[in-house]
Structure 1
Amino acid sequence: MWNRPRFDLKVRLTLRVAAISAACFAAISAYFLVTADSAAHARIDGIAAIVAKTLELQQGKVQWVASPRSDFPNLDPVSAHVMTPGLCLGFRSPSGDMLQRFCSGAPAPASPPPQAFAAFYRSLFDPGREAARPVIVRGTKLGETVVSVDPAVQTAEAWHEAGRLMIALAIALPLLCALVYAALARALRPTRMIGNGLERIAAGDLTTRLPPFDLAELSAIRDVFNHLAESLDTALAERSELTRKLIALQDEERRHLARELHDEFGQSLAAIRALAASARQTAAQDCPGLLGECDSIARTATGMMETLRGALFRLRPPDVDELGLVASLEGLVSGWNGRSRGQTRYDIRFDGAFESVPASVSANLYRIVQEALTNAAKHAGATSVSLHLTMAESEIALAIEDDGRPNEAAVKSGMGLLGMRERVAALRGRLSFETGPHGSALRVSIPLAAADRQALEHAA
């Protein structure tokens, strides 16, 4: 399954705020540039209209004077009033010839605009575009006035306006991001507490509860979390009680079956052996040819009795309450060493004092170890199996490791591991089964608080 990359929520929201803010600043800058370009063209249009009107008045004055001196067009009077740096005034005849032209110099800008901005601005706004107004006297067009601004000057002015906004953006945007990140970190601080609570719930601590939060959304999550934890705690308690009863019923059924096998099947096998011995004595006197069959019947009955003893031992283990957990497990391991005949070595080690472990917990631990050893013998083909039982301050830990290569699917699909899981769940514990190239490991952890609770429930 494809895993999508995960990002910190604060970083993601801060980046979104930064992107929106940058877009707003860009829109404002674009608005200022458009406004500045429109104002520049409106100014040169106004200047062109003033120059055209001035030239029309000049031509009218020439016609009124009796002995006129033909100096039309004369841009000197108007240029003194309207000229600005980079501005050009001109008069173009109807034929297209430029009869007169004045341009004011433009000082070199202190901070010239970058070439990228200049190219971008020229591609959008076409600085230096001319504004022309016709000069019409008595219905006759004498020419037109032409007004323009040096493109470099107009670009530098636009960069000066945009540069101030960019400086403001460069200062305000990081400050805004820092403030937004700090505010989000403070507002989302309870999410870390929620995450820790979920981890504790996943670890099996269903007593975890979340405190009230200031934010309404987080408070809603807190209410759902606490309700879920309470529901899970109740459901797990009911499941544990049901599992405990089922396990107790299973153990009672095993004891009943063991009694039935011992009383009925065991006595029948004993009777068969006695009859075989009696038949052998009779055959020795009357029919020696039947001695082999009598001995075969006796051997078969003896083998069946040995098998029955093993089955009875598994169905009805020694009384853990009387012998104690340590002695019972040592006896179990010794029995497996005897049956393996040296093919597999079983070792057990204890750390801690187990005298205070409740009888019900000891019985469950014994059953778990018994089933684990059975799985190791059936599926692992191991040459060494080690058991380590530890009593810590807060829990009882059991580790069973072997050097075999089990069929993990066969082990997990069998009833043995399921039964162990149910017993561990009834004790509010944790069970894990791992396999690797060098063997497998079964680990069980049972909290002492759950063990005490199990003892009280069993006593009740």
Structure 2
Amino acid sequence: MWNRPRFDLKVRLTLRVAAISAACFAAISAYFLVTADREAHARIDGIAAIVAKSLELQQGKVQWVANPRSDFPNLDPVSAYVMTPGLCLAFRGANGEILQRFCSGAPTPANPPPQVFAAFYRSLFDPGREAARPVIVRGAKLGETVVSVDPAVQTAEAWHEAGRLMIALAIALPLLCALVYAALARALRPTRMIRTGLERIAANDLTARLPPFDLAELSAIRDVFNHLAESLDTALAERSELTRKLIALQDEERRHLARELHDEFGQSLAAIRALAASARQTAVQDCPSLLSECDGIARTATGMMEMLRGTLFRLRPPDVEELGLVASLEGLVAGWNGRSRGETRFAIRFDGAFETLPAAISASLYRIVQEALTNAAKHAGATKVSLELTMRADEIALAIDDDGRSSDPAAKSGMGLLGMRERVAALRGKLSFEAGPHGGTALRVTIPVAADRPVLERAA
């Protein structure tokens, strides 16, 4: 199954903030560029108006003094006041011919704009566009003044303005990302506690609780989490109690059935054996041909008694409270080794002191081992079964490995495995049944001996 790549939430949010900040800086830069372009055009329009007004005054003065020698147009007086680097002043006559033109030189910029920026700026703003104003005297149009700025100078000025913003962006954006990441890391720190709590819930530790959080959203999650944990803990406790009662009732019914079989069926088989022995003695004297039938009846009754004895042993095992768990399991394994006649070899090993275990845990462990051995010998066809029971500080671990058929459905399902699961669930333990590393099957059971768990502590 294809899984989508996962990204850290802090990194993702930081990248989004950085993208939004960069877009904001780009919008601000575009605003400054548009404003600068408008101001530049407004400036040259103003210069064009001033030059046109000056030329109109010049022509009016010429007509007023009736000077036959006219030096109109004369841009020298006005150019001294309005000329800036890269600016061009010109007067275009009514016939479209340029009669006079002044242009100031532009110094070579220390940091020329990149070619990419220059091409981009020229494609958007058309630097060097002319501003023209008509020169009208007494209702007659004598021509027009033309003002323009060198495109390279205007592009360099725009780059200078944009460059300052880019420097500010280059400094502010990493700093902003670092601050946002730190703030998110601090704000999302409680999520690690939430994850730890969920992991403990997944591990069947329903005593996990979350402390109060500062953020309202996380506090709402905390309330739901704690309520869910309490509900699950209560439901599991009720289920465990019900399972315990059902198992106790089942064991009581087994003991009752064992007594009935022993008292009724066992006595009947004993009587049949006695009658067969008496009939054999009579047949020896009166009818020797019946000896084989009498012996057959005796053998059948003996075999049925052996089967009954095994059934009674499974229905009503030895008292674990009196013999102890270790002795009971050793007797169980020895019985299986005796009944298998070498077809299946059973071995058991203990690690720890099991004398102080509660009676309920000892009885459940005995029944779990009994069902597991039955599954391995009868359903999986195993030839070698090894058991290991380990007592640790806070739990009991049971490991049963065999070399049988791990894919046999009977070995993985049925009332035997269901009974084991019910007993493990009643003790709030865990059970896993899977294929062994070297073939066969592996049964793992862990049962806690101390159910109390500390509540999650609040991180500093």
TM-score, L = length of structure 1: 0.92
- 8 Å CA contact 1:346, 1:384 repeated in 2: yes
Distance (whole Å) between structure 1 residues aligned to residue 216 and residue 106 of structure 2: 62
Cα offset, 1:329, TM superposition:
0.4
- 8 Å CA contact 2:269, 2:304 repeated in 1: yes
Distance (whole Å) between structure 1 residues aligned to residue 283 and residue 92 of structure 2: 151
In the alignment, which residue of structure 1 is the partner of 2:441?
440
In the alignment, which residue of structure 2 is the partner of 1:429?
429
Kindly report which structure 2 residues correspond to 1:250-329, keeping only aligned pairs within 5 A, or say none. Answer: 250-284=250-284, 287-329=287-329
Kindly report which structure 2 residues correspond to 1:84-99, keeping only aligned pairs within 5 A, or say none. Answer: 84-99=84-99
In the alignment, which residue of structure 1 is the partner of 2:405?
405
Distance (whole Å) between structure 1 residues aligned to residue 450 and residue 85 of structure 2: 90
Q: Letter of the 2:312 partner, please give it.
A: L
In the alignment, which residue of structure 1 is the partner of 2:3?
3
Identity %: 88
In the alignment, which residue of structure 2 is the partner of 1:212?
212
Q: Letter of the 1:447 partner, please give it.
A: P
- Structure showing greater relative contact order (alpha-carbon pairs closer than 8 Å, 6 or more residues apart): 2
Distance (whole Å) between structure 2 residues aligned to residue 68 and residue 220 of structure 1: 96
Moved more, 193-202 or 383-392: 193-202
Q: Where do 5+ consecutive residues of structure 1 fail to align?
A: 452-460
- 8 Å CA contact 1:381, 1:406 repeated in 2: no
Distance (whole Å) between structure 1 residues aligned to residue 408 and residue 125 of structure 2: 74
- SS of the equivalent of 2:45 reads helix
Moved more, 95-104 or 243-252: 95-104
In the alignment, which residue of structure 2 is the partner of 1:42?
42
Is 1:371 equivalent to 2:381 in the alignment? no
Q: Letter of the 1:415 partner, please give it.
A: M
In the alignment, which residue of structure 2 is the partner of 1:177?
177
Moved more, 292-301 or 410-419: 292-301
- SS of the equivalent of 1:38 reads helix
In the alignment, which residue of structure 2 is the partner of 1:241?
241
In the alignment, which residue of structure 1 is the partner of 2:457?
none
Distance (whole Å) between structure 2 residues aligned to residue 330 and residue 402 of structure 1: 18
- Which deviations, in whole Å up to 9, do the C-alpha atoms of 1:369-420 show, x marking residues without a partner? 1111112223433332111111122221111112333126543332222211
In the alignment, which residue of structure 1 is the partner of 2:346?
346
Judged with a 3 Å threshold, the aligned counterparts in structure 2 of structure 1 residues 370 and 50 are, in CA distance, closer, same or farther, namely same
Cα offset, 1:269, TM superposition:
2.6
- SS of the equivalent of 2:148 reads strand
- 8 Å CA contact 2:354, 2:391 repeated in 1: yes
Distance (whole Å) between structure 2 residues aligned to residue 95 and residue 280 of structure 1: 154
Q: Where do 5+ consecutive residues of structure 2 fail to align?
A: 453-460
- SS of the equivalent of 1:431 reads strand
Kindly report which structure 2 residues correspond to 1:128-207, keeping only aligned pairs within 5 A, or say none. Answer: 128-207=128-207
Distance (whole Å) between structure 2 residues aligned to residue 94 and residue 337 of structure 1: 126
- Which deviations, in whole Å up to 9, do the C-alpha atoms of 1:233-262 show, x marking residues without a partner? 222211111111111001111111111222
Distance (whole Å) between structure 2 residues aligned to residue 137 and residue 450 of structure 1: 107
In the alignment, which residue of structure 1 is the partner of 2:30?
30
Distance (whole Å) between structure 1 residues aligned to residue 27 and residue 33 of structure 2: 10
- 8 Å CA contact 1:201, 1:229 repeated in 2: yes
Cα offset, 1:183, TM superposition:
1.7
- Which deviations, in whole Å up to 9, do the C-alpha atoms of 1:297-338 show, x marking residues without a partner? 333333322222222111111111111111110111111112
Q: Letter of the 2:381 partner, please give it.
A: G
In the alignment, which residue of structure 2 is the partner of 1:74?
74
Judged with a 3 Å threshold, the aligned counterparts in structure 2 of structure 1 residues 105 and 333 are, in CA distance, closer, same or farther, namely same
Moved more, 316-325 or 272-281: 272-281
Judged with a 3 Å threshold, the aligned counterparts in structure 2 of structure 1 residues 379 and 75 are, in CA distance, closer, same or farther, namely farther
Cα offset, 1:437, TM superposition:
5.3
Q: Letter of the 1:52 partner, please give it.
A: A
- 8 Å CA contact 1:379, 1:407 repeated in 2: no
Distance (whole Å) between structure 2 residues aligned to residue 411 and residue 99 of structure 1: 110
Judged with a 3 Å threshold, the aligned counterparts in structure 2 of structure 1 residues 109 and 178 are, in CA distance, closer, same or farther, namely same
In the alignment, which residue of structure 1 is the partner of 2:231?
231
Q: Letter of the 1:449 partner, please give it.
A: A
Distance (whole Å) between structure 2 residues aligned to residue 84 and residue 15 of structure 1: 44
Cα offset, 1:357, TM superposition:
1.3
Q: Letter of the 1:88 partner, please give it.
A: C
- 8 Å CA contact 2:389, 2:399 repeated in 1: yes
Judged with a 3 Å threshold, the aligned counterparts in structure 2 of structure 1 residues 290 and 146 are, in CA distance, closer, same or farther, namely farther
- Which deviations, in whole Å up to 9, do the C-alpha atoms of 1:42-91 show, x marking residues without a partner? 11111111122222222333333323323332222221111111111122
